[in-house]
Amino acid sequence: MPRSVIATSAPPGTAPIRKLIVRVTIGSFSLAALLGIIALLRGGEFGQTQFRVLLTTLLVGVVSIAVLCYLATAGRPSQPVGVAGGVIVLVPLVTALLMIWGDVEHGPSEGIRKTFGIGTAVAATLAQASLLLTLGERARPGVRRILDGTLALAAVLAAMTSALIAGFTPAEGGYYHRILGVVAILDVLGTVVVAALMKFGSGDLERARADVRLPKDLAESVAELATKSGQSSDEVVAAAVRLYLRDAR
């Protein structure tokens, strides 16, 4: 079967970690989803505990999606962004759990609510940045400038939103909120443009490809190794070719 050898691949050292994170993410959300289904199908009155279980299921699902966004940077130059996101996302996760399962009568403290809001804003921004950096890794100069501008807008949006959550009330509040809205619109626009150009347009640089036809036994071996290592078949073939070329020099 034809295989395309692509110049980019994740370092082998990151594959086991990436595979472990994927398994933990899928496993945790599967467990949360199971508990949510049980809460819905369980007989009797739909009470406070069932509602908390459903909220927890939703929370774990959202966090799982964010983790997969961060994981897209594994083995890439943008990996530090994904690592930072994986750490920061623990803040809204923990504070949300405290709000869901905490004291219902008095509710969460103001500090927990603000920490949750700011953590959510930063974690969401890092998830957006992880996806954009992964998409734009081989962007043309023009698209790269749009990407950089979008990332800057996302950072400004996160900072302005966090300031509002923290209690910052500017003297000219109307203008602040209008500027915040403009930044948000431009951020979304830039994200859509970059994604569209990279996936459906001509925004990416030409990739050096060598189309080769592997014998059936080699193709099966590549597929087996890819499954075990958590890499794609293209990454396995690219790593093998690099090793061969290095030894051949």
What pTM does this model have? 0.69
> Alpha-carbon distance 170 to 156, whole Å?
16
Angle formed at CA 93 by CA 68 and CA 66, multiple of 5 degrees: 15
32-90: pLDDT as tens digits: 778 778 777 776 666 777 788 888 888 988 998 999 999 888 878 888 999 999 999 99
Beta bridge partners of 117: none
Residue 223 is predicted with a pLDDT of 82
Going from the C-alpha of 148 to that of each of 25, 194, 241, the distances in angstroms are: 30, 10, 33
Beta bridge partners of 139: 204
Q: Which residues of the chain have pLDDT under 50?
A: 1-10, 12, 206-209
Residue 24 is predicted with a pLDDT of 75
Q: Where are the domains of the chain?
A: 12-136, 139-207, 210-241
Burial of 235 (0-12, 13-18, 19+ CB in 10 A): buried
Residue 46 is predicted with a pLDDT of 67
